Amino acid sequence: MVMIFAHRGYSAKYPENSLLAFNKAVEYGADGFELDIHLTKDEQIVVIHDHTINRTTTGRGKVVEMSFDEIQQFNIKNGLFNVTDEKVPLLIEVLDIVKKHNKLLNIEIKAEPGKIEDKLHELLTRYDIIDQIIISSFNIESLVKMEALDSSYETALLFDRYHTSPWDYKTSHNIKSIHPNAKHITIDHLVELEHNELPARVYTVNKEKDLKTWMSSSVTGIITDEVERAVQLKRTKKIES
């Protein structure tokens, strides 16, 4: 059965990449979460999508040029104007939720390759939940480094446009799965992926008709903002089958 991943938490209704959004994803039955990570100036791994805090918080500045304490001075915004009580969380805070509720976690490395991979590996080793973790990135260097640190990591290469033969990365870089943009992948592509034994999780699928289509396909995961809708459709499909 396909796994439902809450994209940046339950971001359709709650502030993206906030503890509230992740806890709500648990409450509404997601199998796991997708989130984004950056490294602060004082080398803390924080959960935030952009390279700056400008769009999603009340502050301004580049994550890599700010300490965690400096980032904590600002609140997360839900949309353009709505200010919330939420703060940019540390990855360890989300890992606590993952471990407590036995959820899957797709960690997308947004930061430039370098220090963040070692810090991430150190953190995940401490939590002993590697079998619940998927490491994804558009940057293959980060994935190769994670593989070098521990070959048991489930690494997933992100694609915006579908690559003609993504399984090449499986043999050349030991990539274990791919995360293609659902807009640019077809059922024919999935047949090729199955033939080459390369699992796929698609993003970001929100419309009911699209969710139904992908749930009836061979993808192993669907990344969505619309957690309640996706979970309900999955439950209905399970009952029907």
Active site residue ranges: 7, 49
d(CA 5, CA 227): 8
Q: What share of the chain is helix, strand, coil (3-state, %, to 5)?
A: 40, 25, 40
Note whether 210 and 228 are within 8 A (CB).
no
Comparing C-alpha atoms, which of 211, 209, 189 is closest to residue 200?
A: 189
Q: Tally the residues of the chain.
A: 241
Q: 140-149 and 115-127 are packed helices; what angle lies between their axes, rounded to 10 degrees? A: 40
Do the bridges between strand 32-39 and strand 104-109 make them parallel or antiparallel, or are there none, so unpaired? parallel
Single-letter amino acid code for the residue at 39: L
Q: Look-up: residue for tokens 């799965």? A: 177
Q: Using alpha carbons, list the distances in angstroms from residue 82 to 20, 22, 203.
A: 15, 19, 26
Note whether 64 and 51 are within 8 A (CB).
yes
Q: How far is CA 110 from the centre of its chain?
A: 10
Q: Using alpha carbons, list the distances in angstroms from residue 208 to 57, 77, 150, 200.
A: 30, 27, 38, 20
